[in-house]
Amino acid sequence: MTTQRLAGRRVLVTAGPTWVWIDAVRHLGNVSSGRTGLAVSRAFATAGAHVTVLLGPGQAVPTPEDHALLQVERFITFDDLHREVRSRVGSRTFDALIHAAAVSDYRPVSEERGKLASGESELVLRLQPTPKIVDEVRSLDPNVLLVKFKLEVGRTLEELLHIAAESRARSDADLIVANDLRLMDAVRHPAWILDAGGIVAEAATTAELADKLVQAVTERLGRRPTSPDAARSSAIQGVV
């Protein structure tokens, strides 16, 4: 029997890539599949939490079992995810936000409303930074338990952990998951979970990461009361 460690808790998970439009038919994206975010969502739901997952246009496809277990909401663009996080976190009805989505860092300075002509010898795009969604979370809900993800490529472990620690502090996240794309394959998913004091857990696979993240979040939520808004929302859902 699965222990319902997170019964009564509401968890919001973001997963998968975001797109930014170049023109009406073309976009910039990234390689995120959304599989890790879905695996994390399943683990939290299995632990008893009511889980809403905002899932981007990656390769991960929720199964019928996922739809029975999770509240899956789809998004496509950066603007879609930005709007959803602002609305849902701003409602202050979630106990935790697991921000696993691979969010676009840049977007075209100007979006072509039609279709850029093909056949040109060169196409130059001017990009500008997008707002950092995760850095807005504390102003939206100061009490939500925030888990941030930091993916790097080809870093030493010392570099990866240093970058992750700085990233966690910058967003005032409770926890951050640090990983390196070059260490991942179909089986392996090495990851380190850090808080303000340093490493709290290590994982070798996606399943292990999901389980250890549930454990770390459960321990921290255990020191906090369920938010009145989250409790009220859960009670309403139980009646409907």
Residue 76 sits in a domain whose CATH number is 3.40.50.10300
Note down the domain range covering 46. Answer: 10-239
> Which residues of the chain carry a pLDDT beneath 50?
1, 232-240
Q: Quick check: is 2 in a domain?
A: no
Q: Quick check: is 3 in a domain?
A: no
The pLDDT assigned to 96 comes to 98
> Which pTM was predicted?
0.89
Separation CA 205–CA 203 (nearest Å) = 6
List, for residues 22-46, the tens digit of each pLDDT value: 999 999 999 999 999 999 999 999 9
Q: Quick check: is 118 in a domain?
A: yes
Q: Quick check: is 4 in a domain?
A: no
Separation CA 130–CA 106 (nearest Å) = 5
CA angle 230, 234, 238 (to 5 degrees): 170
Burial 177-210 (b: 16+ CB within 10 A, else e): bbbbeebeeeeebbbbbbbeeeebbebeebeebb
Q: Quick check: is 1 in a domain?
A: no
Q: Quick check: is 218 in a domain?
A: yes
The pLDDT assigned to 134 comes to 97
The pLDDT assigned to 229 comes to 54
Q: Quick check: is 124 in a domain?
A: yes
Check: CB of residue 178 under 8 Å from CB of residue 160: yes
The burial of 138, by beta-carbon neighbours within 10 Å (0-12 exposed, 13-18 middle, 19 or more buried), is given as middle
Q: Quick check: is 84 in a domain?
A: yes
Check: CB of residue 47 under 8 Å from CB of residue 2: yes
Domain count, the chain: 1
Beta-carbon contacts of residue 53 (< 8 Å; ≥ 6 apart): 12, 13, 14, 15, 37, 38, 41, 70, 71, 72, 73
